[in-house]
Amino acid sequence: MPLTLLITMMVCFAFSISIAVAIGSSAVLGIALFDPNQLILVPKEMFSAIDKFPLLAIPFFILAGNLMETGGISRRLVDFAKSLVGGVQGGLPMTCVLTCMIFAAVSGSSVATTFAIGAILIPALVKHGYPVGYAASVQATSAELGVIIPPSIPLILFGVAAEVSIGELFIAGFGPGLLIGVTLMIFVHLWCRYKGLGKNDGDGRLGVWPATLNAGWALLMPVVILGGIYGGIFTPTEASVIAVFYALVVGLVIHRELKLADIVVVLRKSVISSAVIMFIIANAGLFAFLITRAGIPDAIGQWLTAVLQSPGMFLLGVNVALFVIGMFIETSAAIIVLAPILVPVAIYFGIDPVHFGIIMVVNLALGMITPPFGVNLFAACTVARISLDRIIGHLLPFVMVIIGCLMVITYVPSISLALRDAVFDKPPVVQPVIGPAIGPL
């Protein structure tokens, strides 16, 4: 059966069939050929894959992001970020990075961040003389922070798939998110100085105080959401509902930019996005069930521990594999299929599963900005109204920056775990990241 699953998937990929359909079709065909009496497992396992309470956060965070975009919250966040960093050369792309960092703290989705912030900043960047391909690259890369800085839909999926605390994953995402965000801002500033771009980025910039007052309700949103989670007032799943309610009240009552007629459009867009993700999760859950029953996870675990005989080599091998996988397989599907396989091996090597979850999500987030299936690239190109080939040349330096940050996150566990240990009052764990060789299981 495993060979049938692999061949079917490869054939589907060759004919450009969507990832979810390819995974689901290979699983159904495998059961039909080898055990047709068990076809009842198809709906059962697909339902079981999405019948998890934490997954409710996904549609609500997507809806909250769309409400923020339509209700004027996103625009006010852009004005606030521009008031802080927009006065220096390259301040506009730096504003893009900073706005995405703030927006990520309430949306949880990189695609939602791309559309919400890109619709404002990509035209602004082009107007200030930046090449449209560069503007789309900055936006696509910055929006990646939407799946790293909590709340994050991929972190929720990893927590569910690997049975790891979602609260701990969320708090562990702050350090890596800040590292990537600050590194990107430094990089775009230096790049703009080198290229001579962005000398007039401060035009039309509000003062810090007026911009802060104007964005007060928008800035209060991540405080309410994250404060409620870590204050024990509500769970991450319940926080997604609070985010929707908050965005609805601010857009309708306070800013009054969200009209009742807009809600129908927002709901339709959110339903479509949520349905796509849930369909992927359902098919990936069925696929994961079959490969687990076939003993593939155990075989891979034993092979990894035999070949990559130290924690450092294991992490390097996983990073290389996930980078390649992320280029071809959607992040949600990759997490659900691979997390149950890799986490037990990581634990065997003495790697904290929360730290490993951050590594996995950051790495797969790279797949969102790498061809051929980078969802952020397609979203940014849609907003910028350009073809994918016009973005590639500008994108490569950003990919290298993220890879550099990934290596630091991988081999300096305290970036992810220091805040987690402090918040949850856990003793610091010294992980054998570059330890001696370890024998097979």
Whole-number pLDDT of residue 1: 64
Q: Are residues 149 and 100 in the same domain?
A: yes
Joined together, the tokens standing for residue 79 give: 């004005």
Q: Are residues 164 and 198 in the same domain?
A: yes
Q: Are residues 89 and 220 in the same domain?
A: yes
Q: Are residues 35 and 82 in the same domain?
A: no
Whole-number pLDDT of residue 108: 64
| d(C-alpha 116, C-alpha 65), whole Å | 7
Whole-number pLDDT of residue 353: 93
pLDDT in tens, 340-382: 888 888 888 889 999 999 999 999 888 878 876 666 777 788 7
User: Is 178 part of a structural domain of the chain?
Assistant: yes
User: Is 198 part of a structural domain of the chain?
Assistant: yes
Higher-confidence residue of 192 and 204: namely 192
Whether omega for the bond prior to residue 440 falls within 30 degrees of 0, making it cis, is no
Interhelix angle 73-85/91-107, rounded to 10 degrees, is 140
Contact 288, 333 (CB under 8 A): no
Contact 240, 57 (CB under 8 A): yes
> CB-side exposure of 271: number of CA atoms within 13 Å?
6
Q: CA distances (Å), 406 to each of 75, 148, 170, in order?
A: 30, 12, 17
Whole-number pLDDT of residue 358: 94
Mean pLDDT confidence for 224-229: 80
Q: For 415, phi and psi rounded to 5 degrees?
A: -60, -35
- Please report which confidence band the pLDDT of residue 325 belongs to, taking 50, 70 and 90 as the band edges: confident
Mean pLDDT is lowest, of 53-67, 142-156, 170-184, 369-383, for 369-383
Long-range CB contact pairs, 227-234, < 8 A, 24+: 229/150, 229/151, 229/167, 229/170, 230/167, 230/171, 230/423
Q: Are residues 45 and 33 in the same domain?
A: no
Q: Are residues 71 and 19 in the same domain?
A: no
User: Is 65 part of a structural domain of the chain?
Assistant: yes
Whole-number pLDDT of residue 48: 83
| d(C-alpha 37, C-alpha 57), whole Å | 35
Higher-confidence residue of 74 and 217: namely 217
Residue 21, C-beta contacts closer than 8 angstroms, at least 6 positions apart: 12, 283
Q: Is the pLDDT of residue 93 over 80?
A: yes
User: Is 433 part of a structural domain of the chain?
Assistant: no
User: Is 438 part of a structural domain of the chain?
Assistant: no
User: Is 325 part of a structural domain of the chain?
Assistant: yes
Q: Is the pLDDT of residue 439 over 50?
A: no
Q: Are residues 233 and 154 in the same domain?
A: yes
Mean pLDDT confidence for 52-78: 79
Q: Is the pLDDT of residue 206 over 50?
A: yes
| d(C-alpha 65, C-alpha 338), whole Å | 28
Mean pLDDT confidence for 45-59: 78
pLDDT in tens, 246-293: 889 998 988 888 888 889 998 998 888 778 778 877 887 787 777 767
User: Is 287 part of a structural domain of the chain?
Assistant: yes
Whole-number pLDDT of residue 400: 93
> CB-side exposure of 85: number of CA atoms within 13 Å?
20
Interhelix angle 132-143/110-127, rounded to 10 degrees, is 150
Mean pLDDT of the chain: 81
Whole-number pLDDT of residue 300: 66
Residue 343, C-beta contacts closer than 8 angstroms, at least 6 positions apart: 162, 164, 353, 356, 357
Higher-confidence residue of 434 and 103: namely 103
| d(C-alpha 392, C-alpha 384), whole Å | 14
Q: Are residues 62 and 7 in the same domain?
A: no
Q: Is the pLDDT of residue 209 over 80?
A: yes
Q: Are residues 158 and 191 in the same domain?
A: yes
pLDDT in tens, 25-38: 888 888 888 777 77
In the block, residue with structure tokens 């949850």: 424
Q: Are residues 299 and 332 in the same domain?
A: yes
Whole-number pLDDT of residue 107: 66
% of the chain exceeding 90 in pLDDT: 14
Q: Is the pLDDT of residue 432 over 70?
A: no
Q: Are residues 11 and 67 in the same domain?
A: no
Mean pLDDT confidence for 152-168: 86
Interhelix angle 331-348/19-34, rounded to 10 degrees, is 70
Higher-confidence residue of 435 and 44: namely 44
| d(C-alpha 328, C-alpha 278), whole Å | 19
Q: How many domains does the chain have?
A: 2
Whole-number pLDDT of residue 434: 45
pLDDT in tens, 164-199: 888 889 899 999 999 999 999 999 999 988 888 878
Higher-confidence residue of 429 and 394: namely 394
Residue 93, C-beta contacts closer than 8 angstroms, at least 6 positions apart: 125, 130, 134, 135, 138, 188, 192, 198
Least Cα distance to 198 among 141, 128, 133, 135 occurs for 128
Mean pLDDT confidence for 223-235: 78
Whole-number pLDDT of residue 441: 37
Answer yes or no: pTM beyond 0.85: no
Q: Are residues 153 and 267 in the same domain?
A: yes
Q: Is the pLDDT of residue 388 over 60?
A: yes
- Please report which confidence band the pLDDT of residue 433 belongs to, taking 50, 70 and 90 as the band edges: very low
User: Is 48 part of a structural domain of the chain?
Assistant: yes
Residue 350, C-beta contacts closer than 8 angstroms, at least 6 positions apart: 311, 431, 432, 435
Q: Structural domain of residue 24, as residue ranges?
A: 1-39
Whole-number pLDDT of residue 438: 39
